[in-house]
Amino acid sequence: MHRLYENEDISVFWDSDKCRHAKECVNGCPEAFNIMRKPWIDISKAPTSQVWQAVSKCPSGALTCIYNHGVRIEYDKENSRSIAFVDDKTVGECDYEKTQNGWVIYHTEVDEKYTGKGIAKRLVYRLIEQAERSKTDVSATCSYAAKVLGNI
């Protein structure tokens, strides 16, 4: 399971396959990481600095986080894609097609001025999460998205 949690400042990625249940996150910031709650991650419940610190202690790499750099990510269902915006300007997108075997992500692109900020990962994660929430299989022919999915 892949999940993307965002606030104004940071994005937190969670990959359940990597989680070793060491609970460093729960012990480090119980307000944001609470296994008795659904959803168990809610980064709005704690200051960004505390969330960041707790995530950085995750020993397995199941939790990772990055700064948003003023970039927001939206899911565009109508056009089968996720889009990255800075204000109203599009700075990246990730596209998928619907097939008999589920969604296939075939393209991920970020404006070269905005590379190195984790935008591609956020774009891909948003689509993977959306597919998983819709109980739809997701795969990728885009090599970057396939890497994020753990397929290569």
Pull the structure tokens for residue 7.
């606030």
Give 63 or 120: the residue with its C-beta nearer to ligand SF4.
63
CB of 126 to ligand SF4, least distance (A): 19
Give 62 or 124: the residue with its C-beta nearer to ligand SF4.
62
Give 22 or 152: the residue with its C-beta nearer to ligand SF4.
22
Give 23 or 69: the residue with its C-beta nearer to ligand SF4.
23
| Interface with ligand SF4 (CB under 6 A) | 19-25, 58-60, 62-63
CB of 25 to ligand SF4, least distance (A): 3
What is the spatial distance between Cα 41 and Cα 118, in angstroms, rounded to a whole number?
A: 20
CB of 110 to ligand SF4, least distance (A): 27
What is the spatial distance between Cα 34 and Cα 57, in angstroms, rounded to a whole number?
A: 16
The long-range contacts involving 136-139, CB below 8 angstroms and separated by at least 24 positions, are: 136/102, 136/103, 137/101, 137/102, 137/103, 138/96, 138/102, 138/103, 138/104, 138/105, 139/101, 139/102, 139/103, 139/104, 139/105
Q: How many beta carbons lie within 10 A of that of residue 64, not counting itself?
A: 16
CB of 128 to ligand SF4, least distance (A): 17
